[in-house]
Structure 1
Amino acid sequence: MVPGLAARFLDVMTQRKRATPSSQRQHGVSALQEDEDDIPFTQPSTSQVQKALENVTPAQLDHKASEVVQYFLVKQQKKIPVRRADLVKHVVKEYRNIFPEIMKSASKTLDQVFGLKLVEIDNKNHLYILISKLENVDGPHTSVSSPKVGLLFVILSVIFMKGGVVRENVIWNTLKKLRVDPGEKHAEFGDVKRLVTDEFVRQRYLECVRIPHTEPVEHEFHWGQRAELEVSKVKLLEFLGQLHDQDPQLWSQQFKEAHSSVNPPSS
């Protein structure tokens, strides 16, 4: 970890801790949990949707789409991926036969009104997230506005600079250098290991993968799907270059990776 990044991170933690009410800093694991019971749902065909629309007024469609938008915005506050099963069960309900039209309308509102792009990140389990188009334009360094985001940004930077995958002990040792000991309860983050391996993983910023044939069991970290979509590697490398006072092209491997990937994705 470079001294400049560590100093910036610690400054952010100190300043935000004074300014942020404790009620806004408490994010329990229960808040991240979703319903485990899936309800049977098959995506209706185009003909089924068209037939169902004959019995739905434009006002009813708009109202249901607005409810979907609100549901996504609530989940977005904690960066929780939305399961299609939960969306159908809690919001769409009896309007499931026009689900595609509801999602189309909701997606348009999220894009045009809130500047958020609706993305399905898991086609098998049908998980959706919202991507801020404005954040992608500004770059990751402008998003380091809270201690948790700062901590996440440090971890993503380490993983990127280490070739895209690091063993967990590398992360824990890096955090210790920032006086964030994963083995102790932190005043700002609480259980640090739980924050990293549970909350950040649930939010799809990180992937935590067990390393085979290790005893005791060890894990390694990769960038998660949300990080790949939200964080521009080009801008991240430029930011690290500024902190190092170094031309980003000198990190040839990372520079090549950053510029060969479409990150952030085009709208």
Structure 2
Amino acid sequence: MSQRSAGSGARRSRPGRSQVILDDDEPDVSSQPSSSQVQRARCSFTPQQIEQKVAEVVQFILIKDQKKIPIRRADVVKHVVKEYKGQYPGIIRRAGQTFEQVFGLNLVEIDSKNHVYILVNKLHPLPGEPISMCPGSPKTGLLFVILSLIFMKGGTVKEILVWNTLKKLRVYEGVKHEEFGDVKKLVTDVFVRQKYLEYVRIPHTEPLEHEFRWGARAEQEVSKMKLLQFIGELHNEEPQTWTQQYREAASVESNPR
């Protein structure tokens, strides 16, 4: 009797598979498909079905990118790929090729741990075309001013300096702007979520202070050399005037991402 009770207790203590909750970003090793399962998955979908799924992924990412919010692999799988999950590597690779060949965009993974992507415009000016960093919209212009300030100040700028600089452009932290709306939210929330800026708390400060840095999207999209050339045009100076910044910009140009 005691043996039977012990045995049943052992069975009860073993966790059932239904008790395990999985996250899309943290796949359970035991649930990973074997090579034979992958092969069967490949055989279960026609080339036309795969092409259709690639097109759906491209459309999904284009829609998400309109707000410049980074795209998570988990969301792509959940909302689009679904039962084609075993085909994900091939689908996302072909989607990347479509972005490059059709739209002139690069699908870049900016966070390999959490599998987060952004679309980057890698089209360059034609030979002989004048260098122009003039933004296409007021919000882009505001962002450009902040990125320029951060770059020229060595990569990190205290928040107070950003607001003091924007005051010269009649853009105030606590005043609703005709073009930008809530400027504080735009700069410290929207641009940060879009990965153009990093907004970092400075430790051991009282009252609490923050500083700005370039975000992952800015590092991918913005040419520091063209930015420096533009600043040189504004000040009627050669880019080499700013030795440290020119050295950094030249290093990035010679080692493209």
User: Shared fold by TM > 0.5?
Assistant: yes
Give percent identity, aligned residues only: 61
Taking structure 2 as the reference length, the TM-score comes to: 0.83
Q: Which has the higher contact order (CA 8 A, sep 6+)?
A: 1
Q: What residue number does 1:248 align with?
A: 239
Deviation at 1:55, TM superposition (A): 0.6
Instruction: Return the match for 1:177 from 168, 187, 196.
Output: 168
Deviation at 1:198, TM superposition (A): 0.6
The 3 A distance-change label for structure 1 pair 164 and 263 is: farther
Which string of whole-angstrom CA distances, capped at 9 and with x for unpartnered residues, describes residues 136-160 of structure 1?
8789844601001000000000000
Q: What residue number does 1:102 align with?
A: 91
Q: In structure 2, what is the Cα distance between the partners aligned to 1:262 and 1:117?
A: 17
Deviation at 1:202, TM superposition (A): 0.5
Aligned-partner SS, 2:102 = helix
Gaps of 5+ in 1: 1-36
The 3 A distance-change label for structure 1 pair 221 and 145 is: same
Structure 2 residue identity aligned to 1:207: E
Contact between 1:182 and 1:193, CA under 8 Å: does it hold in 2? yes
Which string of whole-angstrom CA distances, capped at 9 and with x for unpartnered residues, describes residues 92-145 of structure 1?
111111101110111111110011111100012211001111158789844601
Q: In structure 2, what is the Cα distance between the partners aligned to 1:94 and 1:139?
A: 49
Matched, 1:89 2:78: yes
Q: In structure 1, what is the Cα distance between the partners aligned to 2:226 and 2:113?
A: 31
Gaps of 5+ in 2: 1-21
Q: In structure 2, what is the Cα distance between the partners aligned to 1:263 and 1:242?
A: 22
Aligned-partner SS, 2:123 = helix
Contact between 1:136 and 1:264, CA under 8 Å: does it hold in 2? no
- Equivalent positions of 1:1-267 (< 5 A) are 39=24, 42=27, 47=35, 48-134=37-123, 141-142=132-133, 144-262=135-253, 265=256
Which string of whole-angstrom CA distances, capped at 9 and with x for unpartnered residues, describes residues 167-222 of structure 1?
00010111111000011111111111110111100110001110001111110000
Which string of whole-angstrom CA distances, capped at 9 and with x for unpartnered residues, describes residues 34-83 of structure 1?
xxx95466496793543311111001100010000001111221111001
Aligned-partner SS, 1:256 = helix
The number of residue pairs the alignment matches comes to 230
Contact between 2:133 and 2:230, CA under 8 Å: does it hold in 1? no
Taking structure 1 as the reference length, the TM-score comes to: 0.80
> RMSD value over aligned CA atoms?
2.3
Q: In structure 2, what is the Cα distance between the partners aligned to 1:136 and 1:73?
A: 23
Structure 2 residue identity aligned to 1:154: V
The 3 A distance-change label for structure 1 pair 141 and 214 is: farther
Larger radius of gyration: 2
Q: In structure 1, what is the Cα distance between the partners aligned to 2:69 and 2:115?
A: 13
Q: In structure 2, what is the Cα distance between the partners aligned to 1:121 and 1:45?
A: 26
